[in-house]
Every structure is written in structure tokens, then in C-alpha cells.
Amino acid sequence: MIKITAYTANRRIEKFIKSSEEALKLRTKFQSQMNNGHTVSFDSALLNPSHIEAITFEGIEDEEAEHG
């Protein structure tokens, strides 16, 4: 399981993805949207690329995802 976290100045949004293949597709999508100056669609949030400080991808154990 992969935990993806987007950080802005006043917000942290987390999303859990089951496969690393899906996470890689999302990473490519985020990079493309940010490079083109487009709004980044992340879970149920729309983020302005100029306000995104970081997007992290972290592999986690399934038990941690169920509790966190």
C-alpha cells in the first residue's frame, strides 16, 4: 500500500493507493499538471500548483493504513 500526502501551507491531504503501479500513474499525472500550471486534482481536493509545497509517496504496511 502507498500513502500519498500533499502538503500546502495550511493543509495536509492523504490518500491511500493499493498498488505501486497506480501510485506511479498518479505521480506522472501530478507532475504533468504541475509542470503545465494546471490545477492538481488530488482525492476530493483541487490544489493550485503554486500553493503545493510537497507531494510525498510512502510505502506502508497494510495494518498501518487500516489504523491511520
Report pLDDT for 45: 87
Report pLDDT for 44: 85
Non-local CB neighbours of 2 within 8 Å, separated by 6+ positions: 16, 17, 18, 19, 20, 22, 23, 57, 58, 59, 60
- List the pLDDT tens digit at each of the 68 positions of the chain: 999 999 999 999 999 999 989 999 999 999 999 898 899 888 788 999 889 999 999 998 765 555 55
Q: What is the pTM for the complete model shown?
A: 0.77
Report pLDDT for 12: 94
SS (H, E, C) 1-68: CEEEEEEECCCEEEEEECCHHHHHHHHHHHHHHHHCCCCEEECCEEECHHHEEEEEEEECCHHHHHHC
